[in-house]
Amino acid sequence: MKIKIKRLDKSLPLPQYHTDGSAGFDFYASENTTIAPKEIVKIPTGLIIGTPSGYFLAIINRSSTPQKKGLSMPNGVGVIDSDYCGETDEIKVLMYNFTEQPVLIEKGERVAQGLFLKVDQGVWEETETMSVTSRGGFGSTGEK
């Protein structure tokens, strides 16, 4: 699948899949950013990506980031729609510093990973009744 990409800072590498089995590719910070304790900050990546129609680009925390840096994505996952690719639509990664110390993200540091995922839009079919049986609430499948 060919993906259109515009680098706003050519000194940074294009996103890379680091192994043949990698599902995600890395995003790099395009500038130094200090995140104060308990603060949420948008980290610029310097990239505009043309996600193909029928897909969305999921921005996901790198598994090592919480332990190594004390940072986490407060929304869990970022969703980049296929029509978010205009000239000013730079991808930014939202990060929360859950530590008691400022955290420095340096330019060129890996801050998140991206995955292209297929998506369909549903067509609503309104009804007055649903399934005959209800299965319960949160965590109900393991309670017996």
Query: For residues 55 and 81, what is the distance between their CA atoms, to the nearest angstrom?
Result: 8
Q: Is the pLDDT of residue 143 over 70?
A: no
- Domain 4-120 class in CATH: mainly beta
Containing 22, the helix (H) or strand (E) segment is none
pLDDT in tens, 88-134: 999 999 999 999 999 999 999 999 999 999 999 999 999 998 877 77
Q: What is the pLDDT of residue 102?
A: 98
71-94 pLDDT, tens digit each: 999 998 999 999 999 999 999 999
Domain range list for the chain: 4-120
120: three-class secondary structure by DSSP? coil
Is residue 110 classed as helix, strand or coil in its secondary structure? strand
pLDDT at 9: 95
Q: 17 Cβ partners below 8 Å, 6+ apart?
A: 24, 25
Containing 142, the helix (H) or strand (E) segment is none
Maximum Cα interatomic distance, the chain, rounded to a whole number of Å: 59
pTM of the model: 0.85
First-to-last C-alpha distance (Å) of the chain: 46
Instruction: Give the model confidence (pLDDT) of 32-56 as tens digits.
Output: 999 999 999 999 999 999 999 999 9
Enumerate residues 6+ apart whose C-beta is below 8 A from 1: 52, 116
